[in-house]
Amino acid sequence: MVKYNKHQKVFALILVFALFVVYFPFTTGAYAANRGEWAPNTAYTIGDTVTYNSVTYTCIQSHTSLITWEPPNVPALWQVSTTSTVATPVFSPGGGTYSTAQSVTITCSTSGATIRYTTDGSAPTSASAQYTGVITVASTSTIKAKGFKSGMNDSAVVSATYTISSQQTVAAPVFNPAGGTYSTTQSVTMTCATNGATIRYTTDGSSPTSTSALYSGAITVSSTTTLKAKAFKSGLNDSAVTSATYVIGASSNKLLIGYWHTWNSGTPFIRLRDVNANWDVINIAFAEPVSPGSTDGNMKFVVTGLTSSYTINDFKADIQTLKNNGKKVVLSIGGYEGYFSLTSSAAVAEFVRDIKGFIDEYGFNGIDIDLEQYSVEFNSGADPDFRNPTSPKIVNMISAIRSICNSYSSDFILSWAPETFYLQLGYQYYGGLNSGCDSRAGVYIPMINALRDKTTYVHTQLYNSIQVMAPDGNYYSMGNSDAIVAMCNMLLNGFNVGGRSEYFFQALRPDQVVIGVPASANAAGSGQISNQGLQQAFNTLSASFPGLRGIMTWSINWDAYQNNNSFAQSNGAYLDTK
């Protein structure tokens, strides 16, 4: 046995203690510090921070580093020191039921992020399959995805389920021609790409069933009609319903549309019988809420310009006379002062009941939607898909308008008069998608889209407007031909909503688009244009879209008072040549 003296024993104990400290450091974080660049063979304690490949890490377990590849490969010892989080990946399409294999893309708005995914129900990890392109889903599957990036916290896990039906679906029928405006009776044929399929159709606005009229040859449409068709075949899922509207006869002419004031203020009151003969459609402004800003659906319609020599019965008789002369008289709802919201099913029912009461009492040919202020708005930034709106004010208004239209025949007029703020602005800023903008931006988009099958035409108010950016990247101020063409082209070509290609607003038919401008210098705060400039814009648009429907103005009263009806006379004569 080797013997040690007292001094050798003391030295040996000190050496053992030193080695213990080096290889088994205390777990306290009392001496934590910024240790600079990470290095191997170095003692680290809880709370120490180091830099590795330009990323800062915090020590979460005291230890001595013995390897050269530690952070970020040993998560038990180190964690990223950051509060930044990778954006949640987005699926396109976002799940659903499909009859065939589906191509799915996954994107992440965090630049440089890596997307990893699974299809077995487990949450993705940094070792899961890396997304590098389109994923083909051939059978029912749930995909989960997660975003990763060095120096940032991982994203949340997002998932989407794709149900692939083993049973195929019949192709939707195709109309030829696909709807439009015609001066005479129109012959319509229907075809289906699925061999052996049977096509059934309706003309009353209802969806076809397996017992509806059987299509067996060309259909002759002699009056304004909406055809709906569906295809059937044993062993296959029924097709989607397709529809097309054919406007026949007098309604095929280009329309000159004007608003008529029910009140006597600013411009003299005009008896309906005295409106200029060039007007084809007279929009009566307005049906309003009993209490402005209300949510109960209670509406009123009052003609305040009546006198003892021009009574309500005279007004009703004039409506009938105008209709007998081939004119259309439409009830406009809302206006700037007539703002209201429908926030419950009871309010929807009351609104529908009141508006239908006015239509039936006065014999109006349809309704015009001129909702302003906060009548409709989004749950800001939380209602991104205009095709499937969720904001209550919007959903309820769609339901109410559809209910009214369904109560009348297929020639019932539904027109829209949004300001550019509520429609075209939605290309750049959409209140349901872009949380940083006004909650009403683009709010007409989901309503018009949901009611395409009922919409007769849209005449955006190209006046009292801010500058609006069009898809060509240019900003347009209203009151010139270029602006009119740009704003109408957005509706005729379709546009990405909120700047997002996955949210594309499909084009309206040319016969569903009308140019809307002020009639005179004082009729609006901006947007005035000469008759020559207006007709130049119409020529430009109709060269590409010959079915363009017409011209609208605010207002009949202003034109009579300030122009001696020159707007109606000039533009009425012009449209007669188109």
Burial class (CB in 10 A: 0-12, 13-18, 19+), 329: buried
pLDDT at residue 2, rounded to an integer: 39
User: Residue 180 above 80 pLDDT?
Assistant: no
Q: Catalytic residue at 372?
A: yes
Burial class (CB in 10 A: 0-12, 13-18, 19+), 324: exposed
Cis link prior to 555 (omega < 30° from 0)?
A: yes
pLDDT at residue 192, rounded to an integer: 94
User: Residue 319 above 90 pLDDT?
Assistant: yes
Look at residue 169 and tell me if it is in a domain: no
Higher pLDDT, 328 or 34: 328
Together in a domain, 109 and 72 = no
Q: Cβ distance 454 to 402 under 8 Å? A: yes
Together in a domain, 289 and 345 = yes
What is the DSSP code (8-state) at residue 133? S
| DSSP letters for 61-108 | S-EE---S-HHHH-TTTEEE----BPPPPEEES-SEEESS-EEEEEE-
Could you tell me the pLDDT band of residue 312, with boundaries at 50, 70 and 90?
A: very high
Contacts of 16 (CB under 8 A, 6+ apart): none
| Helices 531-544 and 481-493, packing angle to 10 deg | 30
Task: Determine the Cα–Cα distance for residues 83 and 364; give it in Å rounded to an integer.
Answer: 61
Together in a domain, 158 and 182 = no
Together in a domain, 263 and 405 = yes
User: Residue 19 above 60 pLDDT?
Assistant: no
Cis link prior to 286 (omega < 30° from 0)?
A: yes
User: Residue 30 above 80 pLDDT?
Assistant: no
Task: Determine the Cα–Cα distance for residues 143 and 436; give it in Å rounded to an integer.
Answer: 30
pLDDT at residue 173, rounded to an integer: 94
User: Residue 24 above 90 pLDDT?
Assistant: no
Q: Cβ distance 49 to 56 under 8 Å? A: yes
Look at residue 476 and tell me if it is in a domain: yes
Q: Cβ distance 528 to 521 under 8 Å? A: yes
Provide the whole-model pTM. 0.60
Tens of pLDDT, residue by residue over 86-118, are: 899 999 998 887 877 889 999 999 888 999 999
Task: Determine the Cα–Cα distance for residues 541 and 484; give it in Å rounded to an integer.
Answer: 9
Together in a domain, 448 and 336 = yes
Q: Which residues pair with 505 in a beta bridge?
A: 495
Task: Determine the Cα–Cα distance for residues 405 and 365; give it in Å rounded to an integer.
Answer: 11
Together in a domain, 563 and 510 = yes
Look at residue 211 and tell me if it is in a domain: yes
Task: Determine the Cα–Cα distance for residues 5 and 12; give it in Å rounded to an integer.
Answer: 11
The residue-averaged pLDDT of 138-153 equals: 89
Task: Determine the Cα–Cα distance for residues 44 and 62; give it in Å rounded to an integer.
Answer: 6
Look at residue 467 and tell me if it is in a domain: yes
Tens of pLDDT, residue by residue over 53-74, are: 767 788 889 999 877 777 777 8
User: Residue 398 above 90 pLDDT?
Assistant: yes
User: Residue 174 above 70 pLDDT?
Assistant: yes
Give me the long-range contacts of 433-439 (CB less than 8 A, separation at least 24).
433/381, 433/383, 433/384, 433/497, 433/498, 433/500, 433/503, 434/381, 434/498, 435/380, 435/381, 435/382, 436/381, 439/377, 439/378, 439/379, 439/380
Could you tell me the pLDDT band of residue 543, with boundaries at 50, 70 and 90?
A: very high
SS3 content of the chain, % helix, strand, coil (to 5): 25, 30, 45
* Distance between start and end Cα atoms, the chain: 121
Q: How many CB atoms lie within 10 A of CB 461?
A: 23
Q: Which residues pair with 159 in a beta bridge?
A: 144
Together in a domain, 280 and 409 = yes
pLDDT at residue 521, rounded to an integer: 94
| Residue 366, both tokens | 């349809």
3-state secondary structure of 240: coil
Together in a domain, 364 and 433 = yes
Structural domains of the chain, count? 4
Task: Determine the Cα–Cα distance for residues 482 and 468; give it in Å rounded to an integer.
Answer: 12
The residue-averaged pLDDT of 460-474 equals: 96
The percent of residues in the chain predicted with pLDDT above 70, rounded, is: 92
- What type of residue sits at position 329? V
Look at residue 85 and tell me if it is in a domain: no
Q: What is the mean pLDDT of the chain?
A: 89
Together in a domain, 223 and 356 = no
pLDDT at residue 352, rounded to an integer: 98
Task: Determine the Cα–Cα distance for residues 247 and 456; give it in Å rounded to an integer.
Answer: 10
Higher pLDDT, 217 or 381: 217
pLDDT at residue 4, rounded to an integer: 41
Higher pLDDT, 168 or 563: 563
Task: Determine the Cα–Cα distance for residues 235 and 257; give it in Å rounded to an integer.
Answer: 50
Lowest model confidence (mean pLDDT) among 162-166, 288-292, 403-407: 162-166
Tens of pLDDT, residue by residue over 242-253, are: 998 887 764 447
Q: Which of 251, 256, 253 is nearest to 570 (CA)?
A: 256
Q: Cβ distance 98 to 124 under 8 Å? A: no
Which listed residue (372, 377, 419, 502) is catalytic? 372
Could you tell me the pLDDT band of residue 169, with boundaries at 50, 70 and 90?
A: confident
Could you tell me the pLDDT band of residue 27, with boundaries at 50, 70 and 90?
A: very low
pLDDT at residue 401, rounded to an integer: 98
pLDDT at residue 88, rounded to an integer: 94
Tens of pLDDT, residue by residue over 472-519, are: 999 999 999 999 999 999 999 999 999 999 999 999 999 999 999 999
pLDDT at residue 18, rounded to an integer: 38
User: Residue 190 above 70 pLDDT?
Assistant: yes
User: Residue 75 above 50 pLDDT?
Assistant: yes
Together in a domain, 182 and 129 = no
Domain stops at, among 218, 248, 278: 248
Together in a domain, 303 and 332 = yes
Domain stops at, among 248, 274, 309: 248
Contacts of 326 (CB under 8 A, 6+ apart): 250, 280
Domain stops at, among 80, 112, 130: 80
Together in a domain, 221 and 267 = no
CATH code of residue 384: 3.20.20.80
CATH code of residue 35: 2.10.10.20
Q: Positive or negative, the Cα torsion across 97, 103, 108, 109?
A: negative
Which structural domain, as residue segments, surrounds residue 134?
A: 90-164
Q: Which of 388, 414, 386, 410 is nearest to 400 (CA)?
A: 414
pLDDT at residue 15, rounded to an integer: 38
